[in-house]
Amino acid sequence: MKQLSGWQQQSLPPAAETGFLFEPQTGHTYVLNDSGRFLYDGIRNGTPPDLLTLQFAQRFALAPEVAAVDVGYFLDNLERLGLGGAPCR
């Protein structure tokens, strides 16, 4: 799984309670679902990757291995969209 330590958590724009996300540098907007918002907020708050995956699994009643895949996929998407800087691999 990717490491979150390389992410510039402070540079991530905040997401609204509704999941609406505006990236002011590009003007792009995104809408996060509940699970995306949970992960995004965890990354912004600096939650360590193993703990974030565990919390994600518990919150959404997922098997740990499924949660790890989902978290990795979410991080890949953030990287692809250019949000928050490049993660350390």
Q: What is the pLDDT of residues 1-26, one digit of tens each?
A: 444 444 444 467 677 777 888 888 88
pTM: 0.77
Cα separation, 25 vs 35, whole angstroms: 25
Spatial CA neighbour of 25 closest among 87, 88, 89, 83: 83
Does residue 86 form part of some domain? no
Residue 89 is predicted with a pLDDT of 34
Residue 55 is predicted with a pLDDT of 97
Question: Which residue has 């565990």 as its token pair?
Answer: 54
Backbone angles phi, psi at 11, to 5 degrees: -85, -10
Cα separation, 28 vs 58, whole angstroms: 31
Structure tokens at 9: 């958590």
Into how many domains does the chain fold? 1
Q: Residue 36 belongs to what domain range?
A: 9-81
